[in-house]
């Protein structure tokens, strides 16, 4: 048994947020178990990760008191596989520390160990009929959610259970964006096939100064690096980076960026839709607007598809979804089955929204009287409002990146 004990202070955090506790792994080791303890409180949070001599093997934040890695299986959020001999490191993130410091203890045990297996997937869900929205020739509008979590970070559901919930709610695609890990990526194809939904790989690059979703089948992005490196790494892998919930109190965006990323989560499930602050932030900083539920647990967050991000895509495939997002062929609605407005040529087509008002960023206003109404519209952004001023749908500006 290898033990590390100590006390982290505010000065320690000032000097370096991420701390590394080394331990040696001899050849032939068949399993590693790491446990850590500290007095948990609102102002006392230590994050946990693990690195082998070549790469970071996983990150669980503060979600687990113990993690296991073996050749064939690993705890959620961690990558199984060969255990190379040499110096490994327990990574601790000093996320929150009390004024008088925080005592901690870390134990590392070497030897064969297997994590508890994940539960079997639920039965394949019955999908509601897909909505037929007017689209350009050769394309179709697909309903999705670009921000969700599973047991591989701080979510409650396995990828398979999350996929079934999203399909049951009528979504065509779902981005699974667990925090600072890609361990869930290997499970997504089978989980999506079982549920009848496309699961788009993603990762939420997470720090205490802001979160960003890297969308696409990308290698792990090092959250400890400068934000510009996140963007460069995402672009190099053919993915898209989105600033998440930029106006969200302690979870808002405060990190520097030399240039803007292509996407901004302008509509988050926590948004008070009578408050224009996130939209003002989006207008000031630019980037294509998308939405995300940030689903973790039933009853605590918006369900998958609250809001729904619609993309006008050639087919239901990751490359086509990313291309539509990159080109700004996007609409956002409060739910998958509620009032919706989409661009079609030089018009905006508004469906199931009688009694609402379509408002443009250039001062345009038009009352919606019918269940289907076509409205000539300029290239700027538009919102669909109910009589109280609540946003029901958001149509970003036309053109790449919503410009």
Residue 98 shares a structural domain with residue 240: no
Residue 304 shares a structural domain with residue 216: yes
Residue 153 shares a structural domain with residue 26: no
Q: What is the pLDDT of residue 401?
A: 63
Task: Tell me the average pLDDT across 190-207.
Answer: 98
Q: Is residue 65 part of a domain?
A: yes
Q: Is residue 117 part of a domain?
A: no
Residue 204 shares a structural domain with residue 320: yes
Task: Report, in angstroms and rounded to the nearest whole number, the Rg of the chain calculated over CA atoms.
Answer: 22
For residue 121, how many other CB atoms are within 10 A of its CB?
17
Q: Record the pTM.
A: 0.96
Tokens 């958001």: give the residue: 394
Side-chain-side CA neighbours of residue 150 (13 Å) = 31
CATH number, domain containing residue 23: 2.60.120.380
Task: Tell me the average pLDDT across 78-101.
Answer: 97
Q: Is residue 291 part of a domain?
A: yes
Which range marks the domain in which residue 25 is found?
Answer: 2-110
Residue 234 shares a structural domain with residue 339: yes
* pLDDT beyond 60 at 246: yes
Residue 101 shares a structural domain with residue 144: no
Q: Is residue 26 part of a domain?
A: yes
Query: Tell me: the pLDDT tens digits for 104-158?
Result: 999 999 998 888 888 899 999 999 999 999 999 999 999 999 999 999 999 999 9
Query: Tell me: the pLDDT tens digits for 18-41?
Result: 999 999 999 999 999 999 999 999
Residue 105 shares a structural domain with residue 147: no
Q: Is residue 245 part of a domain?
A: yes
* pLDDT beyond 60 at 403: no
Tokens 């410009």: give the residue: 403
* pLDDT beyond 60 at 304: yes
Residue 91 shares a structural domain with residue 154: no
Q: What is the pLDDT of residue 183?
A: 98
Residue 360 shares a structural domain with residue 283: yes
Q: Is residue 25 part of a domain?
A: yes
The three-point CA angle 119-33-162 to 5° equals 25
Which residues lie closer than 8 Å to 280 by C-beta, 6 or more apart? none
Instruction: Look up residue 380 and give its two tokens.
Output: 């700027």
Which residues lie closer than 8 Å to 171 by C-beta, 6 or more apart? 143, 144, 145, 197, 304, 305, 308, 336
Task: Tell me the average pLDDT across 47-61.
Answer: 98
CATH number, domain containing residue 149: 3.20.20.140
* pLDDT beyond 90 at 283: no
Q: Is residue 120 part of a domain?
A: no
> How many structural domains compose the chain?
2
Q: What is the pLDDT of residue 166?
A: 98
- Cα–Cα distances (Å) from 351 to 105, 173, 241, 329, in that order, read 58, 21, 30, 17
* pLDDT beyond 80 at 400: no
* pLDDT beyond 70 at 318: yes
Q: Is residue 20 part of a domain?
A: yes
Residues in the chain: 403
Average of per-residue pLDDT values in the chain: 95
CB 364 within 8 A of CB 385: no
* pLDDT beyond 60 at 191: yes
402 falls in which pLDDT band (50, 70, 90)?
Answer: low
Residue 63 shares a structural domain with residue 145: no
Residue 281 shares a structural domain with residue 385: yes
Residue 220 shares a structural domain with residue 84: no
The last residue of a domain, from among 61, 90, 110: 110
């Amino acid at each position: 048994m290898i033990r590390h004990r100590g006390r982290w202070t505010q000065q320690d955090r000032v000097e370096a947020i991420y701390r590394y506790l080394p331990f040696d792994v001899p050849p032939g080791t068949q399993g590693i178990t790491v446990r850590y303890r500290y007095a948990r409180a609102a102002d006392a949070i230590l994050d946990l990760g693990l690195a082998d001599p070549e790469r970071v093997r996983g990150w669980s934040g503060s979600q687990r008191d113990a993690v296991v890695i073996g050749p064939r299986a690993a705890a959620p959020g961690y990558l199984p596989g060969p255990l190379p001999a040499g110096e490994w490191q327990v990574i601790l993130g000093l996320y929150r520390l009390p004024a008088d410091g925080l005592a901690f203890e870390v134990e590392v045990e070497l030897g064969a160990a297997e994590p508890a297996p994940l539960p079997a997937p639920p039965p394949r869900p019955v999908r509601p009929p897909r909505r037929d929205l007017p689209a350009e020739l050769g394309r179709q509008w697909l309903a999705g959610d670009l921000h969700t979590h599973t047991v591989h970070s701080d979510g409650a559901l396995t990828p398979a259970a999350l996929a079934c919930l999203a399909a049951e709610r009528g979504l065509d695609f779902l981005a699974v964006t667990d925090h600072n890990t890609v361990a869930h990526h290997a499970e997504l194809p089978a989980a999506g096939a079982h549920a009848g939904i496309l699961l788009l790989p993603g990762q939420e690059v997470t720090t205490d100064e802001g979160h960003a979703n890297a969308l696409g089948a990308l290698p792990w992005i090092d959250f400890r690096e400068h934000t510009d490196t996140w963007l460069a790494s995402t672009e190099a892998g053919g993915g898209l980076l989105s600033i998440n919930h930029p106006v969200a109190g302690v979870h808002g965006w405060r990190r520097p960026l030399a240039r803007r990323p292509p996407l901004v989560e302008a509509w988050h499930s926590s948004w008070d839709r009578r408050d224009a602050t996130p939209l003002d932030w989006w207008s000031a900083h630019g980037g294509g607007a998308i939405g995300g539920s940030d689903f973790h647990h039933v009853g605590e967050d918006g369900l998958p598809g609250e809001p729904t991000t619609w993309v006008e895509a050639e087919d239901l495939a990751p490359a086509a979804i990313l291309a539509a997002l990159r080109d700004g062929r996007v609409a956002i609605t409060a739910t998958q089955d509620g009032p919706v407005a989409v661009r079609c040529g030089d018009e905006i087509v508004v469906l199931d929204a009688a009694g609402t008002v379509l408002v443009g960023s250039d001062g345009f206003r038009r009352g919606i009287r019918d269940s289907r109404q076509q409205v000539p519209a300029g290239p700027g952004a538009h919102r669909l409002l109910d009589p109280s001023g609540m946003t029901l749908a958001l149509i970003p500006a036309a053109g790449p990146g919503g410009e």
